[in-house]
Chain A
Amino acid sequence: MTVVVRTVARIITPMILAFGGYVIMHGHLTPGGGFQGGAVVASAIALLLVVFGARRLAGYKNLLSLLEDLGAIAFVALAFLGIGYTFFRNVLAGSGGLFGMPVPSGPNPGFLDTGGTLPLMNWAVGLKVIAGLGSVVLLLGLFGGGDDR
């Protein structure tokens, strides 16, 4: 790819990552959440793939696979947190701890501290989607180099 494309890609990629992180992080306040933000970040990976070629990114396969599993394990582990009541119970909401501020009723600017286990699950799902979609795009770019699992 030409110099213009490579330079613009280098400048734009942090912006895409920041926007993706914002969408993941504010999933419990505005439209968005784990999958949507993860897909945005994966599109940044796709951009890097197209601009710089798949060979240069081929070394990240194992890291992406590990992150994918960690994200999924984190999601199920967070769901197990509420097992004292029922599975998937939001034990952190309104309790005053991490992400535990009670939600004020009526229109308000939206406080990041609310939501309980929801933002944590958003992060877990976001990590899994980033790693998962990134792996899919990377492997399809390497033409099916995924035979050796």
Chain B
Amino acid sequence: MIGNFPFVVCMILIALGLWALLFRRNLIKLAIGITLIESGVNLFLVTLGYVRAGVAPIYTYAPPGAKMVLPTPQALTLTSIVIGLATTALMLAFAVVIYRHRGTLDARKIRELKG
């Protein structure tokens, strides 16, 4: 049961991010909510690679006969972090453009596209 604790933390992070995405009005806070969801998913990916009593998966450092933690989820997480970086940069850039045109970052006041 105690071994499931990291997964529960990941789900709490994702839930917090979804809550911020749904109930906050400031565009920057929406971007932060998405970043929280990304962090939760990345943490989930790293956690599922854990092998009990495993060492870091570095080929040249591991003592012979040792069990290594799964390295593939670490590669997946790296890729996901890079993608999240590009996504966040793009969202913040658009938030800057919206602010320069409209003078506000409140999502309820930027409602030009209706219907």
Contacts and interface: CB of A to CB of B under 8 A. Distances in A.
B58 A35 contact: no
DSSP majority for the A interface?
Answer: loop
B61 A144 contact: no
Interface of B: 56, 58-64, 78, 81-82, 85, 89, 92-93, 96-97, 100
Nearest to B100: A144
Contacts of B61: 107, 110
Interface residues of A, number: 19
Contacts of A110: 60-61
Contacts of A139: 93
Given A35-B82, A107-B63, A107-B64, A144 B93 contact: yes
A104 B115 CA distance: 65
Interface of A: 29-31, 33, 35-36, 103, 106-110, 133, 136, 139-140, 143-144, 146
Contacts of A31: 56, 58
Nearest to B63: A107
A45 to B, nearest CB: 14
B96 A109 contact: no
Given A35-B78, A35-B82, A140 B60 contact: no
